[in-house]
């Protein structure tokens, strides 16, 4: 779920943004605490959200990435800028062929048939 400050709600709604946001799908914060009655689902919920955002944003490269990505206080805008800068400099990356990973298939693999994103820029 996303997160935001209660003080920003009026401005966001006036701008036509976050219209579906509510306590059910958003961690709502004041300046000093989480306002949701149930609190956070995990002690590190904010970090989990940011990490998943980065994974999703980097998946827009159009191919699996082999590399190291570190971010401090990152967000969608920074992730996009990093990916744009990387892809705009062909000397900064190389397409490689890799052996398919060998693993034992289990019950969790049933819903994970997608091996590569079906979207993204052409980087060939």
**DSSP letters spanning 5-61:** EGGGHHHHHHTT-STT--TTTEEEE-SSSB-STT--SSTTHHHHHHHHHHHHHHHTT
Q: How confident is the model at residue 116 (pLDDT cuts 50, 70, 90)?
A: very low
Higher model confidence: residue 19 or residue 66? 19
At residue 123, the pLDDT reads 52
Q: How confident is the model at residue 67 (pLDDT cuts 50, 70, 90)?
A: confident
pLDDT in tens, 20-60: 999 999 999 999 999 999 999 999 999 999 999 999 999 99
At residue 5, the pLDDT reads 96
Predicted TM-score of the model (pTM): 0.67
Q: How confident is the model at residue 99 (pLDDT cuts 50, 70, 90)?
A: confident
Of 49, 76, 80, 107, the active-site residue reads: 76
Asked whether the predicted pLDDT for residue 107 surpasses 90, the reply is no
- Respond yes or no: is residue 76 known to be catalytic: yes
Can you state the angle between helices 76-88 and 45-59, rounded to 10 degrees? 30
């Amino acid at each position: 779920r996303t997160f935001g400050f209660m003080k920003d709600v009026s401005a966001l709604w006036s701008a036509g943004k976050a219209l579906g946001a509510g306590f059910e799908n958003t961690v709502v914060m004041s300046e000093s605490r989480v306002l949701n009655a149930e609190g956070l689902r995990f002690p590190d919920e904010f970090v989990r959200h940011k990490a998943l955002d980065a994974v999703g944003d980097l998946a827009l490269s159009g191919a699996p990435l082999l590399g190291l990505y570190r971010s401090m206080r990152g967000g969608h805008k920074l992730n996009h800028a990093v990916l744009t800068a990387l892809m705009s400099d062909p000397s900064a990356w190389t397409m490689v062929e890799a052996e398919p990973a060998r693993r034992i298939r289990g019950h969790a693999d049933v819903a994970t048939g997608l091996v590569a994103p079906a979207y993204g820029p052409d980087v060939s």
